[in-house]
Amino acid sequence: MIVLLHGVPETAAIWEPLRAELTVESTALALPGFGCPRPDGFSATKDEYLAWLAAELASFSEPVHLVGHDWGAALTYGIATRHGELLASWITDGLSGVHPDYVWHDFAQTWLTPGEGEAFWDRLLTSELANRAAIFELSGVGHDDAVALAGAQDTVMAGCILDLYRSANPNIAATWGVEAERAYAPGLILPCGDDPFDTLEMTEVMADMVGAGVHPVAGLGHWWMLQAPAEMARTIEAFVRSVDDRAG
């Protein structure tokens, strides 16, 4: 089973074009508060999301192949280094976000700041849908997909984003620490050359630390699953099949 985990600010719907290209069973999980309700009392911190993800994966009858994007990649890294028994393998895009020297991008710096983060989302969510969609289009997302991504944003998602980022200040490694031990399951990292939120050098450091392979992808950006779903589905599936074949 391939389990896909999205990032921020998006929903599990980003995986639908890629899932349509997969020939093996798959499912896409929705982070609480992202296109679905935020449970009562859910703090939306990175630790609570990690605990939620571990519980979700434990509900499957056998270890899964976990694929994570953006914050989903960071959470996948957290599972691989802390709850690896839940995984048959794991795949992420760039992992520079869990490097100890990573500096959050400009959007995140705003979200980290009390008052400024709330004002950002108040302005964005009251702006025209076309203006919100244009932010995604600037990152290489097609128009229809950009409109869908922007249309899914709401106050529930915004609140979860603020709480999530503020639980990772000044970065993820500062409060999670850097795992010195290798991941328990085989891993593959797919850094995309046109992703402005990733640094290949940092991703390579983290890959070496946890014993994962690195397969750079040229010509694709942050939302690679929407830009080239067939190509990336083949890449993911080839790695999953290689792991399954080695496992016998």
Residue 148 in tokens = 């869908």
What pLDDT is recorded for position 181? 58
Domain assignment of residue 86, given as a range: 2-103+175-247
Q: Residue 220: which of 230, 211, 206, 208 has the closest Cα?
A: 230
pLDDT band for position 204 (cuts 50, 70, 90): very high
| All residues at 6 or more sequence positions from 136 whose CB lies less than 8 Å from its CB, including other chains | 145, 146, 149, 150, 223
> Quick check: is 239 in a domain?
yes
Q: Residue 164: which of 75, 91, 86 has the closest Cα?
A: 75
Buried b (16+ CB within 10 A) or exposed e, 120-141: bbeeeeeeeeeebbbbbbebbb
> Quick check: is 199 in a domain?
yes
Residue 119 has pLDDT above 80, yes or no: yes
How many contiguous H segments (helices) and E segments (strands) does the chain have? 12, 6
CATH number of domain containing 72: 3.40.50.1820
User: Which amino acid makes up residue 50?
Assistant: L
> Quick check: is 68 in a domain?
yes
Cα–Cα distances in angstroms (integers) from residue 93 to residues 38, 43, 236, in the given order: 26, 26, 11
Asked if 90 and 187 touch (Cβ cutoff 8 Å), the reply is yes
> Quick check: is 14 in a domain?
yes
| All residues at 6 or more sequence positions from 220 whose CB lies less than 8 Å from its CB, including other chains | 140, 192, 193, 194, 195, 227, 228, 232
Residue 34 in tokens = 């992202």
> Quick check: is 112 in a domain?
no
Q: What is the pLDDT of residues 37-92, one digit of tens each?
A: 999 999 999 999 999 999 999 999 999 999 999 999 999 999 999 999 999 999 99
Residue 248 has pLDDT above 80, yes or no: no
pLDDT band for position 217 (cuts 50, 70, 90): very high
Residue 175 has pLDDT above 90, yes or no: no
Residue 186 has pLDDT above 60, yes or no: yes
Distance CA 245, CA 220 (A): 29
Residue 132 has pLDDT above 60, yes or no: yes
Total structural domains in the chain? 1
**Average pLDDT across the chain, whole number:** 95
> Quick check: is 17 in a domain?
yes
Note the pTM of the prediction, 2 decimals: 0.96
> Quick check: is 151 in a domain?
no
What pLDDT is recorded for position 139? 86
User: Which amino acid makes up residue 99?
Assistant: H
Asked if 148 and 205 touch (Cβ cutoff 8 Å), the reply is no
> Quick check: is 155 in a domain?
no
Tell me how many degrees the CA angle 185-95-90 measures, rounded to the nearest 5: 25
